[in-house]
A and B are shown apart, each in its own frame.
Chain A
Amino acid sequence: MIPFLANIDPAFKVLAPRAADWLTILPEIAVAALALVSLLQAILLPKPLRWLIPATARAGLVLVIAMAYTTAGPWAPKNDVESFAGLLRQDLPFAGVRLVFLASALLTSLLAARFLRERGAAIADYHHVLLVVTAAFMLLAQSNHFVTFFLALETAAVGLYVLVGYLRRSEASLEAGVKYLVAGGLSSALLLMGIVLVYGALGSVAGITDSLNFTQIGKALSAQVLTPTGISPLTLVGVALILGGVAFKLGAFPFHAWIPDVYQGAPTPTTAFLATASKAAGAFTLLVLVTGPFAALAPKLAPVLAIAAVLTLLAGNLGALSATDVKRTLALSGVSHAGFILAAVTVAVIAPEATAYGYTAEQVVVLYLLAYLAGTFLASQALVSLPAAADHLRPHLALRGLLRRSPSLAAALGFGIGSLAGVPPSVGFIAKLLVLALLVKAKLWWVLGVALVCVAISIHYYFCILREAVVRPTEDNVELAPLEISFGARFLIGALAAATILGGLLILN
């Protein structure tokens, strides 16, 4: 605290951040600092030393991951304490939450360096924006106030617009960037509208001083529920708009329409980042909102969430059945994974005490996202290493003969798709099992039924991809030239493949 400022305004004395507050977000600060370092390096480093930029970012991210896992540090959340005068609050299983974002950023960096170099795009700027977005996502997941929430969300969104349209010479990338900008702008506007409505509607409730604060919103709503008039329609509209904005990030029905086009057009590393980190941000904020401030609305929210989960599952899986482009298929299958996450969130609302294998619904969401992350990056690695006429055109047919051209890429695709499809003993299977077990505990029979049908459907399109890569002969049985895979890529494939197998073991033990 700066004494000079505290003397000017007594109110500031209460609100001013304490040293302990800064320590709770040390990992986020470190990531933001890394972002600045990469920018500085771009200015200062001579050309032969430019390779240091991604290397520094990666080394830094690894250190931050280690830091996030040091439970002794002051940044490790302890008793769910609010910091920064109630602006932030780490009430999710937070080490896991940080890991999702940090791992996603690290893997994206590993995919991006060679991909960008081949296309003559700047590597430093990409890393800078990537790290800023990552730090923003990490803050977003611990927001406890709609101001920090919206600021973090928009910081991330603006960065993502850049990353999606990053290949300026590619029409597809620019088109995807514009589509994402328009759709994202619309969702941000709706979200802001919702925040304002909630702020206004709850501002007059007795005893509430700040109707943007999640804790206070929660108190106001649970007080209003008990009144004879109930919750005002204005608040409900506001809540609906806010959840709509979050559903956009998650890619849940009916806000999933942007996903196939944007995922397909975006540079593949960005697609992987969007699919994992951005989806995770949507999942975590949804979880925070429906179990925190909006918890009093559970009877109204639960059916909405359950229906959204069912429709998301169906939309994703039925859409993916007819897709013939690998990126598009994976994008739509990502929608179906969002459906699984939504199902787990629904359980968190309906039966907060339900556990599967000792994991709560919140922990299951984190584990599901980590499993999804491993599968997605394996498949993306295979795509990035495959030469293509254009990054956005990757028809299933182009995979033919992959097994002969590069067994390690075929293995990446096999392990990745196998885990996404939920083939035992992969971590994807265990993650799905946990969600299904939660649905059983919460007695959500029809969601369970749809989820199981969708698993069966998904086997078909996932195996169609694998069949092209492994079984089908190439046109006229042409022997295509073997692909050179760098040691780094092979190491990454090996590590992620091991993670898909051993992850399940770690979860269940």
Chain B
Amino acid sequence: MDTFPATLLQITVTAPILIGLVLIAGRSLPRSFASGFALGGFALPAVLAPWLLVLWSSESTTVAQFQSTGLWGFNFGLNGLSAPLLAMTAIVGLAAGIKALTQEVESRNTYLGLILFMLGGTLGVFGTNHIIGFYFFHEFALIPTFILTLFWGGEGRRPAAMQMAIYLTVGAMASLAGILIAIDASGMGFAQANFGDVAHGLQSANHIPAAVGALVLFGLGTLASLFPFHSWAAPGYSAAPTPVSMIHAGALKKFGLYGIILVGLSSLDITGGRLGDWFLWMAVANVVVVGFICIAQRDLKQLVSWSSVAHMGPIFLGIWVCGKSGKADGLDAAAFLMVAHGLSCAALFLLANAVRTRTGTYRLDALGGMASRAPILAALFIAATMASIGLPGFGNFWGEIGVFLSLRDQSLWLQAIIASSVVISAVYALRAVAATFFGPASESLEKRFASAPFGDLGWAERTAVGLLLLASMAIGFKPALVTKSTNEVTKLVTTYSQHNAKAPAKAVPAQPVKR
């Protein structure tokens, strides 16, 4: 086997962590050196991970490719779902890194080092093929997230960080219990628990405790802000420093969804029976209730945070409908939306912060008329908003429309509710755009502009946002970039999920099983 891509994958995950370590250890490294070094740590994965996505071959006989042995026995490897997520994480990471490098903060080297830790952990989540490794890297990324929010966060950071720590620890513990029980039921040893093997083993498991599906769904659901376990998310993102919000909301949160798909949906029958009903209602609440909460927001960053929670709704629905109907299209769309949402959501966080650094406020009623003063900022913000609400041309379009289409066999009221979500998200997103960039500027903004005139976006921010939007447009115009690899996994997961729901007693499927 060609070991070159496997080496690339290892470098992608370990480079940010090692560089982060150097920055934290060398707190007094000269500024220019530290900046260049950190930029290397952010940029290297952003080059390597998309390259790996291109190298990922759908002709391969194994689902997990580029496998190699990692430390702690957590083997590296990319499956069709994690390959695009890894690439998305790396791009979001580079954008966040560029933002972080332009910020003036206390203990800058430690700050950059911790963000690199967080990025490395998030890359590890998708770069490993080992279930306990996947969990391990997630926890590894969460700790710097708490610390960064607590020390470098904005308003209300202490209660937000505490609330986030409690919710995420409880969610992580519940999911750990579910994961461990699932591994045990699959008959795999903990040391060899790869995603493919465990899902395969669970197909022929004679007894899976009923609560495992619930533990995995609600535990990982908490981490992915499933209603009603979502209330940590918006305050947590709002209080965190912008690069942290970008990586957390854009990339790290997808951990929960990724786990729900590969462990829960594939083998634990989370869409069947009572649990399935609960799942549906929670997902609908994610769309509708959180949508209304978004409409009520009067603060730009809060709005962006809440909307990133609301956008989890269609993804959950896509997962649900795949298990329910046994067709892969819902899951295809959900997987696509996971990638696309990461890009658009990170762009919005970055731009909202750009508004704040210029105007000194996130409050919508204190903004207005920015389009004439910062036209590029306004243009990019509008573009990111359009991406986020799913206009054609951007990646989110394929995801959102795919979820709607996959629901066409479901009852009419469900389709009606989901269709209304487009209206809801258009309402809050466009209102935010209007309040920030158009109309007359507020008095306080006029005063601020008079005393401290601000310019348009700098080159660094332009590069970062441009990167995210270009990536989103790339997958918008050429969806095959993502689907060529995700389809391989969604097919398999769908088969597995149906096997589990319909014929629990049947032996292993006769088809040659891919691992």
Q: Which residues of A contact B (CB under 8 A)?
A: 356-358, 418, 423-425, 429-430, 433, 436-437, 440-441, 445, 448-449, 452-453, 455-456, 459-460, 463, 467, 471, 504-505, 508-509
Contacts and interface: CB of A to CB of B under 8 A. Distances in A.
Contacts of B211: 445
B449 interface: no
B72 A425 contact: yes
Given A440-B180, A453-B173, A459 B165 contact: yes
B209 A452 contact: no
Contacts of A358: 189, 191
Q: Which among B140, B181, B189 has the greatest number of chain A C-beta atoms within 10 A?
A: B181
A505 B136 CA distance: 12
Contacts of A467: 150
Contacts of B352: none
Contact of A508 (B72, B176, B184): B72
Interface of B: 71-73, 132, 136, 139-140, 143, 150-151, 165-166, 169-170, 173-174, 176-177, 180-181, 183-184, 189-191, 209, 211
B176 A505 contact: no
B140 A508 contact: no
Ranked 6 nearest A-B pairs via Cβ: A452-B173, A424-B139, A440-B180, A456-B169, A508-B73, A508-B72
28 contacts: A356-B190, A357-B190, A357-B191, A358-B189, A424-B139, A425-B72, A425-B136, A425-B140, A429-B136, A429-B139, A436-B176, A436-B177, A437-B180, A437-B184, A440-B177, A440-B181, A445-B211, A448-B177, A449-B177, A452-B174, A453-B170, A455-B173, A456-B166, A459-B165, A459-B166, A460-B165, A508-B72, A509-B71
A471 B190 contact: no
Contacts of B143: 418, 423-424
B149 to A, nearest CB: 11
Contacts of B181: 440
B95 to A, nearest CB: 26
A428 to B, nearest CB: 12
A461 to B, nearest CB: 12
Contacts of A356: 190
B217 to A, nearest CB: 16
A509 B72 contact: yes
Contact of B140 (A424, A436, A440, A456): A424
Given A356-B190, A448-B177, A433 B132 contact: yes
B131 to A, nearest CB: 12
Given A452-B176, A455-B173, A456-B173, A441 B140 contact: no
B72 A505 contact: yes
A463 B180 CA distance: 26
Given A425-B140, A505-B71, A455 B184 contact: no
A105 to B, nearest CB: 30
A441 B189 CA distance: 10
A143 B183 CA distance: 38
Q: Which among A358, A430, A440, A445 has the greatest number of chain B C-beta atoms within 10 A?
A: A440
B263 to A, nearest CB: 14
Contacts of A424: 136, 139-140, 143
A508 B189 CA distance: 12
A448 to B, nearest CB: 6
A508 B132 CA distance: 11
Given A424-B139, A433-B132, A449-B177, A508 B191 contact: yes
B170 A456 contact: yes
Nearest to B175: A452
Contacts of A423: 139, 143
A507 B177 CA distance: 21
A509 B191 CA distance: 9
Contact of A463 (B165, B177, B190): B165
Nearest to B174: A452
A129 B209 CA distance: 52
Contacts of B71: 505, 509
A455 to B, nearest CB: 6
B170 A445 contact: no
A449 B169 CA distance: 14
Contacts of B169: 455-456, 459
A400 to B, nearest CB: 15
A508 B180 CA distance: 16
Contacts of B132: 433
Nearest to A407: B27
Contacts of B136: 424-425, 429
B440 to A, nearest CB: 42
B150 A471 contact: yes
Contacts of B176: 433, 436, 452
Nearest to B165: A459
Contacts of B209: 445
A452 B72 CA distance: 22
Contacts of B139: 423-424, 429
Q: Which among B139, B143, B173 has the greatest number of chain A C-beta atoms within 10 A?
A: B173
A93 B170 CA distance: 34
A98 B211 CA distance: 41
A436 B178 CA distance: 11
Nearest to B147: A470
B57 to A, nearest CB: 30
Contacts of A452: 173-174, 176-177
